[in-house]
């Protein structure tokens, strides 16, 4: 199978009343486990990586080659997405190297600058026949978070979408990147208002650690993609800890089996949680 535009898969998911998982990629092992989980569940997935992650793999072209290999091997429907591109050059290099979707994150900047940069990114994306995600409001936390979170302002949504021509909109409704420091509480009333103002597919960053009942409520209100990084990485690291108890690092092919198995199970769990809405 070839890669799809991310917005196409998200609209299909919304039509079915489900949400797609977007899983961070940092090496070929975790790319394979994501693809294997998608095949097991029979649900499309979104592979995504920030510049930091794809550069650890040799660049955007290397990640695209690895993802395409496993997409064809497992015969799955998928998108490959730039997560949190912070500069237009990130958008351009991913668009030119086989990504089917990109994100320009200017959410920490003032509204007019966010509009300007997101519109420029849309020109690059659409010129390459791929979709663009931008963020309105700001989800903080993690290495990619700059400053404090700022909730999305509904009054800005219509103008932002109209002026930028974005295909997917990431909203800030109370999640954070990384691990929560307190009890998560999503502003579902805010999400409902945002969803009533636009028909572009909505994205939720910071899905890891968010209570599933709140995620299901968000999906019912219009969230079509939920980003997951911390949860699958913690599963991978737990597998490494297990391997230390009875496996030797001298045989890497055996040593990494628990990490792969745990990451596969966690990815399956998340895909099912997003597609079996209660």
Question: In this prediction, what percent of the chain has a pLDDT beyond 90?
Answer: 83
Is residue 217 in some structural domain?
A: yes
pLDDT tens digits, 224-262:
999 999 999 999 999 999 999 999 999 999 999 999 999
Segment 63-75 mean pLDDT: 98
> How many domains in the chain?
1
Is residue 223 in some structural domain?
A: yes
Which domain covers residue 197, as residue numbers? Answer: 6-230
Is residue 1 in some structural domain?
A: no
Q: What is the pTM of this model?
A: 0.94
pLDDT tens digits, 184-211:
778 899 999 999 999 999 999 987 778 8
Q: Are 19 and 224 in contact (CB under 8 A)?
A: yes
Please confirm, yes or no, whether 65 is among the known catalytic residues: no
Say yes or no to pLDDT of 83 above 50. Answer: yes
Average pLDDT, the chain: 93
Say yes or no to pLDDT of 143 above 60. Answer: no
Segment 33-40 mean pLDDT: 98
Is residue 29 in some structural domain?
A: yes
List the alpha helices (DSSP H) in the chain.
Answer: 6-15, 28-41, 51-56, 60-74, 88-95, 111-127, 154-164, 188-195, 212-220, 230-246, 252-255, 257-275
User: Confidence class of residue 144 from pLDDT cuts 50, 70 and 90?
Assistant: very low
Say yes or no to pLDDT of 179 above 70. Answer: no
Count of C-beta atoms within a 10 Å radius of residue 235: 23
Give the count of alpha carbons within 13 A of 244, CB side only. 6
Give the model's pLDDT for residue 137: 85
- Name the nearest CA neighbour of 68 among 76, 43, 57, 127: 76
Say yes or no to pLDDT of 148 above 50. Answer: yes
Instruction: Determine which of 90-99, 130-139, 263-272 has the lowest per-residue pLDDT on average.
Output: 130-139
Is residue 128 in some structural domain?
A: yes
Say yes or no to pLDDT of 145 above 50. Answer: no
- Name the nearest CA neighbour of 131 among 107, 158, 171, 166: 166
Q: Say whether 103 sits in a helix, a strand or coil.
A: strand
Is residue 126 in some structural domain?
A: yes
- Name the nearest CA neighbour of 201 among 4, 6, 10: 10
For residue 11, the domain's CATH number is 3.20.20.70
Segment 59-74 mean pLDDT: 98
Is residue 82 in some structural domain?
A: yes
Say which of 27, 61, 77, 83 is annotated catalytic: 83
Give the count of alpha carbons within 13 A of 197, CB side only. 19
Is residue 175 in some structural domain?
A: yes
């Amino acid at each position: 199978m070839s890669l799809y535009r991310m917005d196409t898969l998200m609209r299909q998911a919304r039509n079915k009343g489900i949400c797609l998982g977007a899983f961070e990629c940092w090496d070929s092992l975790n790319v394979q486990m994501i693809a294997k989980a998608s095949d097991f569940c029979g649900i499309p997935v979104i592979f995504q990586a920030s510049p930091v992650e794809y550069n650890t793999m040799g660049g955007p072209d290397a990640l695209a080659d690895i993802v395409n290999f496993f997409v064809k091997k497992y015969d799955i429907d998928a998108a490959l997405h730039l997560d949190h591109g912070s500069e237009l050059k990130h958008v351009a290099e991913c668009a030119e190297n086989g990504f089917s979707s990109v994100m320009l994150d200017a959410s920490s900047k003032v509204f007019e600058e966010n509009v300007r940069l997101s519109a420029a990114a849309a020109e690059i994306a659409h010129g390459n026949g791929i979709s663009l995600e931008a963020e309105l409001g700001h989800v903080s936390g993690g290495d990619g978070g700059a400053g404090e979170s700022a909730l999305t302002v509904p009054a800005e949504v219509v103008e932002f979408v109209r002026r930028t021509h974005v295909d997917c909109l990431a909203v800030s409704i109370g999640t954070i990147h990384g691990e929560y420091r307190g009890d998560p509480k999503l502003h579902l009333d805010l999400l409902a208002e945002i969803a009533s103002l636009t028909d572009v597919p909505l994205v939720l960053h910071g899905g890891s650690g968010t209570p599933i009942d709140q995620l299901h409520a968000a999906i019912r209100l219009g969230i079509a993609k939920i980003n997951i990084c911390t949860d699958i990485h913690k599963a991978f690291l737990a597998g490494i800890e297990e391997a230390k108890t009875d496996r030797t690092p001298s045989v890497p092919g055996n040593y990494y089996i628990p990490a792969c198995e745990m990451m596969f199970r966690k990815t399956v769990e998340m895909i099912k949680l997003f597609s079996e809405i209660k």
